[in-house]
């Protein structure tokens, strides 16, 4: 009798667990997310019906791992492979990629997963979910196209506006008309600001569509920083810009894009620190890298913001940022540009004391 009761208890417990698992599985399926369980020892895959649907297959189909891998768009296979290798090391699996259905249509998926290890840290299996993000990706593509077209269209009138302002400025100088000289200088500064903004949007759409390319050449970074500092002094005379040159340092990089990064870091230093305070730019050769730093004595950043400011559209929400213009794309673009150069960007900061933004670029061998 005692044995029978024990067994009944176990059966009830197992049934409860199975019911709970089934309910969870149904709940996940209802959200439109497919789930899977991959045995890393014998590559056996268990998939939910929704996963099969996401891959354009019959819900009853049992899919194997190779089949899924082969359906990933050939241009995106390296993304999935990289994510898989990273997952084995870190335990976290995450990627977005295109897949091609049997009918030839292309769809976007987002896969997330977690690796389960044994006591010796040997990976045993991976559990995860996959969802169809085609609609979201299409919306993003449309938004990017719109930004690209609008920015491109704004470039032409702005260029002619700048040219006419410069002609007027030279006439005003000849006539020694102080009022016009001052007013046109202000016009030019605003046009320059707007030009930077528009080029920023154009670059963002290029990055998003993977079309940003580097035009690499060898140049002296010290001479370049001197030029950029002079330009920024023209735009803003209220700060004390200091560049401590370390002599000629040749690097191989895209000059225009490095100018963009420097302009962004310097103009942020200006924007987020009090008038009259110092902004110091330094270069340092560290092993095989060049380190360029832009240090200000401004409002600084909280630790949590330091981790997110390089994300697209991220702006810290405080009194100063609310009062200053910006879209939160400058640092995102800078980070992407440095990434394309196989470099590193970062920040060290203390709230209320100031920030030091820096980037590292590999030196030519």
Whose Cβ is closer to ligand ADP: residue 165's or residue 306's? 306
Q: Are 73 and 99 in contact (CB under 8 A)?
A: yes
Binding map of ligand ADP across residues 83-102, x = CB under 6 A, - = no contact: --------------------
Q: How far apart are CA 17 and CA 135, in angstroms?
A: 36
Segment contacting ligand ADP (CB under 6 A): 9-17, 56-64, 249-257, 313-321?
313-321
Q: How many CA atoms lie within 13 A of 145 on its CB side?
A: 6
Whose Cβ is closer to ligand ADP: residue 113's or residue 300's? 300
197 is an interface residue for ligand ADP by CB under 6 A: no
Binding map of ligand ADP across residues 321-340, x = CB under 6 A, - = no contact: x----xxxxxxx--------
Q: How many CA atoms lie within 13 A of 288 on its CB side?
A: 6
Binding map of ligand ADP across residues 237-266, x = CB under 6 A, - = no contact: ---------------------------x--
Whose Cβ is closer to ligand ADP: residue 9's or residue 302's? 302
355 is an interface residue for ligand ADP by CB under 6 A: yes
Whose Cβ is closer to ligand ADP: residue 254's or residue 296's? 296
Which two tokens mark 20?
């709970």
268 is an interface residue for ligand ADP by CB under 6 A: yes
For ligand ADP, the binding residue among 25, 73, 137, 315 (CB under 6 A) is: 315
Q: Are 29 and 50 in contact (CB under 8 A)?
A: yes
> What does the buried/exposed string (b/e) look like for 107-123 if buried means 16 or more CB atoms within 10 Å of the residue's CB?
bbbbbbbebeeeeeeee
346 is an interface residue for ligand ADP by CB under 6 A: no
Q: CA geometry: angle at 256 spanning 278 and 197, to 5°?
A: 70
Q: Are 253 and 339 in contact (CB under 8 A)?
A: no
For ligand ADP, the binding residue among 204, 296, 336, 361 (CB under 6 A) is: 296
| Contact residues for 25 (Cβ-Cβ < 8 A; gap 6+) | 35, 48
Whose Cβ is closer to ligand ADP: residue 205's or residue 264's? 264
301 is an interface residue for ligand ADP by CB under 6 A: yes
Segment contacting ligand ADP (CB under 6 A): 20-28, 60-68, 226-234, 308-316?
308-316
Segment contacting ligand ADP (CB under 6 A): 29-37, 74-82, 245-253, 307-315?
307-315
Number of C-beta neighbours around residue 221 at 10 A? 22
- Quick one: which of 182, 187, 186, 39 has its CA closest to 113? 39
> What does the buried/exposed string (b/e) look like for 269-305 if buried means 16 or more CB atoms within 10 Å of the residue's CB?
bbbbbeeeeebbbbbeeeeeebbbbbbbbbbbbeeeb
Q: How many CA atoms lie within 13 A of 282 on its CB side?
A: 10
Number of C-beta neighbours around residue 347 at 10 A? 19
Cβ-count burial of 161 within 10 angstroms (0-12 exposed, 13-18 middle, 19+ buried)?
Answer: middle
Segment contacting ligand ADP (CB under 6 A): 6-14, 85-93, 112-120, 298-306?
298-306
309 is an interface residue for ligand ADP by CB under 6 A: yes
Give the count of residues interacting with ligand ADP (CB under 6 A). Answer: 22
Q: How far is the CB of 143 from ligand ADP (least distance, A)?
A: 18
Q: How far is the CB of 151 from ligand ADP (least distance, A)?
A: 15
Segment contacting ligand ADP (CB under 6 A): 146-154, 222-230, 251-259, 320-328?
320-328
Q: How far is the CB of 211 from ligand ADP (least distance, A)?
A: 21
> What does the buried/exposed string (b/e) look like for 51-82 if buried means 16 or more CB atoms within 10 Å of the residue's CB?
bbbbbebeeeeebebeebeebbeeebeeebee
Residues near ligand ADP, by CB under 6 A: 264, 268-269, 272, 296, 298-301, 309, 314-316, 321, 326-332, 355
């Amino acid at each position: 009798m005692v044995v029978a009761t024990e067994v009944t208890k176990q059966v009830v417990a197992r049934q409860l667990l199975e019911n709970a698992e089934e309910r969870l599985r149904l709940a996940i399926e209802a959200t439109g997310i497919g789930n899977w369980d991959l045995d890393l020892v014998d590559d056996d895959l268990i998939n939910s019906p929704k996963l099969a649907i996401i891959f354009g297959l019959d819900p009853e189909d049992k899919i194997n791992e190779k089949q899924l891998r082969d359906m990933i768009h050939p241009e995106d296979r390296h993304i999935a492979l990289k994510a898989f290798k990273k997952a084995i090391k870190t335990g976290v699996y995450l990627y977005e990629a295109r897949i091609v259905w049997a009918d030839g249509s292309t769809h976007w998926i987002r896969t997330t997963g977690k690796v389960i290890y044994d006591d010796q840290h040997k990976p045993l299996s991976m559990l995860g979910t996959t969802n169809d993000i085609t609609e979201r990706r299409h919306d993003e593509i449309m938004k990017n196209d719109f930004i690209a077209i609008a920015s491109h269209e704004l470039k032409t009138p702005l260029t002619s506006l700048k040219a006419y302002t410069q002609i007027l400025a030279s006439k005003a100088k000849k006539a020694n008309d102080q009022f016009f000289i001052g007013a046109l200088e202000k016009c030019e500064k605003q046009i320059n600001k707007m030009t930077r903004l528009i080029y920023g949007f154009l670059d963002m759409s290029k990055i998003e569509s993977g079309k940003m390319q580097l035009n690499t050449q060898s140049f002296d970074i010290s001479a370049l920083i001197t030029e950029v500092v002079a330009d920024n002094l023209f735009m803003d005379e209220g700060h004390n810009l200091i560049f401590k040159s370390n002599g000629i340092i040749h690097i191989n990089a895209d000059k225009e894009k490095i100018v963009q990064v420097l302009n962004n870091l310097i103009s942020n230093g200006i924007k987020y620190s009090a008038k009259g305070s110092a902004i110091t730019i330094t270069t340092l050769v560290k092993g095989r890298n060049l380190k360029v730093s832009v240090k200000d004595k401004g409002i600084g950043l909280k630790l949590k913001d330091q981790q997110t400011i390089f994300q697209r559209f991220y702006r810290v929400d405080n009194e100063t940022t609310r009062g200053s213009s910006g879209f939160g794309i400058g640092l995102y673009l800078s980070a992407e540009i440095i990434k394309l150069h196989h470099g590193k960007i970062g920040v060290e900061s203390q709230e209320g004391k100031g920030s030091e933004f820096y980037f590292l670029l590999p030196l030519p061998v």
